Amino acid sequence: MSSAAFFNTEERRQVPLEPRDEGRVGLYTCGPTVYNHAHIGNFRTFLFEDLLRRALRFLGYEVEQVMNITDIDDKIIRAAVEGGVSLSEYTAPYIESFFADLDTLHIERAEHYPRATEHVPEMIELVEKLVATGVAYESDGSVFFRIADDPDYGRLSKLDLSEVRQGERVADDEYDKEDVRDFVLWKGAKPNEPSWDSPWGTGRPGWHLECSAMSMKYLGPEFDIHTGGVDNIFPHHENEIAQSETATGGRFVRLWLHAEHLLVDGRKMSKSLGNQYTLAELLERGLEPRALRYFFLTTHYRKKLNFTLAGVEDAAHALRRIDEMRFRLTHAEESGGADSPVPEAVERARARFTAALADDLNTSEALAAVFGLVKDVNIAIEENRLGTGDTQSVLQLLTDMNRVFGVLDPTEWAGEDETAAGLSDDQIEALVAARQEARAQKDFARSDEIRDRLAEQGIVIEDTPTGPRWKRT
Ligand code: AMP
Ligand code: ZN
């Protein structure tokens, strides 16, 4: 297990990761509000969380990740009531498309995806605890959190509370810093709204309460890392801290990590501004999911990222450089003997890559390690200096690096965008290279499987003394 440090929003500085249980990280990631299809701004945050999860595992930690599905909130209720459907009928297609998009972008599944509607008893219990401490009070069938009773309120977002109008309330789930007031824990139901019974009459939980109740249920009262986009810092995460720490009397989260926004023409991509793209829309325009994933991961998560088609094209181009090196490597001969520079290049790249990830997910540095390797290996091939075992050790390092980035192996993506016209030349080359790689590793089951898959597409491989050749029949 390697040590790692991350920028903690609460302290505004980088601090070492010190998990509560050594070697195990409890990670809570705020999930989608399923009142619409998620847009790719949301996926920037979800991809950052995927990278974090994969990097932690690469560094040797076990990870237990929870991502909630917010399937009750003001907007969902309004839309379901207007459409005359139940909450679950309304949200089902959006939940389905969310999971399909995760798969398209090769985002690893979290261990738990709890839904708010399935955890209402836990939420009521949390409100009861807060009422018992005296910090929460009822008003007209709703329950509010009195922020004046929490001396720590504002700790995460560094709020100045001197201007706050005491005793005033805000009932909306989403509001700005100008509106900092007592916030709602439980909302009394309006007529004909879907609702649950509670000690305060029928109603439903507020959004902030959902995440407090579900994170503590799955990860315990104190856990290691909580993430979201920067828009979650206030009020969502501030309110989560207030609720959880007042209820337990202890610390809630050790490290807070927040991803910067995806922008379009300099403005945050958001449903309310109407400048969003969904993944499906971009795929229809012919963008490759592999290039999109790479595009998102190249910019550090704490920097704003402007979405442009040119940026995604550059990403596709960068990936081709890696694929070409892999292709050349699997076709090259290891005849260079003891003179090979590759073992040292592999060791250097691995160390640089690992150190970069442990340094607050320094992705540009990690990718510099990947491209440094590409360059060193290309030179060794050109100079005919590959030694015995070099192919294998470079491929192994690429496999390990791919566990983090998830874009470095073209065969994992080939076939997903197969068109009616069949595989593209690039995809065929990638599969042929993968077959060579499997053969070099004496994995004949896999090499045969790839040959059969190509044969199904009418492509035959001929093995010649200078390496494999393929043709369409
Ligand atoms: P929502 O479905 O609105 O609750 O958002 C789900 C996640 O996406 C949250 O963590 C948000 O902070 C994040 N998010 C929303 N808009 C953007 C954006 N334009 N760029 C990056 N992350 C975003
Ligand atoms: Zn949340």
How would DSSP label each residue in 238-279? Answer: HHHHHHHHHHHSS--EEEEEEEPPEEETTEE--TTTT---BH
- As a whole-number percent, the residues of the chain with pLDDT over 70 amount to 98
**pLDDT class of 390 with cuts at 50, 70, 90:** very high
Q: Which residue has a Cα nearest atom 11 of ligand 1?
A: 229
What average pLDDT does range 320-331 have in this prediction? Answer: 95
**Nearest ligand, CA 276:** 1
Spatial separation of the C-alpha atoms in residues 203 and 133, rounded to whole Å: 21
Give me the amino acid identity at 138. E
**pLDDT class of 422 with cuts at 50, 70, 90:** low
Q: Which pTM was predicted? A: 0.89
> What spacing in Å lies between the alpha carbon of 418 and ligand 1's midpoint?
31
How much is the pLDDT for 165? Answer: 66
Q: Over the chain, what is the mean pLDDT? A: 93
How much is the pLDDT for 174? Answer: 86
Q: Which residue has a Cα nearest atom 8 of ligand 1?
A: 42
Residue that has been written with the tokens 């990860």 in this structure: 219
**Nearest ligand, CA 32:** 1
Q: How many CB atoms lie within 10 A of CB 157?
A: 17
**pLDDT class of 437 with cuts at 50, 70, 90:** confident
Longest Cα–Cα distance of the chain, Å, equals 83
Pocket of ligand 1, beta carbon within 6 A: 30, 32-33, 41-42, 44-45, 228-229, 231-232, 259, 261-262, 268-270
Of residues 394 and 418, which shows the higher confidence score? Answer: 394
CA distances from 353 to 62, 358, 363, 393, 394 (A): 19, 9, 9, 15, 14
DSSP 8-state class, residue 177: G
> What spacing in Å lies between the alpha carbon of 228 and ligand 2's midpoint?
7
User: What are residue 69's DSSP bridge partners?
Assistant: 115
What average pLDDT does range 254-278 have in this prediction? Answer: 94
pLDDT of 385 above 90: yes
Helix pair 390-405, 425-440: axis angle to 10 deg: 120
| Mutational test site, ligand 1, from 9, 42, 73, 301, max ligand atoms within 8 Å of CB | 42
Residue that has been written with the tokens 């609720």 in this structure: 243
> What spacing in Å lies between the alpha carbon of 41 and ligand 1's midpoint?
6
**Nearest ligand, CA 41:** 1
Does residue 205 have a cis peptide bond before it, meaning omega lies within 30 degrees of 0? no
> What spacing in Å lies between the alpha carbon of 115 and ligand 1's midpoint?
17
117-155: per-residue pLDDT in tens? Answer: 999 999 999 999 999 999 999 999 999 999 999 999 999
How much is the pLDDT for 441? Answer: 82
Q: Which of 22, 53, 25, 436 is closest to 253 using CA atoms?
A: 25
> What spacing in Å lies between the alpha carbon of 29 and ligand 2's midpoint?
7
| Mutational test site, ligand 1, from 45, 105, 172, 227, max ligand atoms within 8 Å of CB | 45
Domains of the chain: 5-268 (3.40.50.620), 279-472 (1.10.730.10)
> What spacing in Å lies between the alpha carbon of 212 and ligand 2's midpoint?
8
CA distances from 329 to 77, 430, 446 (A): 56, 12, 19
Residue that has been written with the tokens 């909130």 in this structure: 73
pLDDT of 416 above 80: no
Residue 179, C-beta contacts closer than 8 angstroms, at least 6 positions apart: 170
How much is the pLDDT for 420? Answer: 37
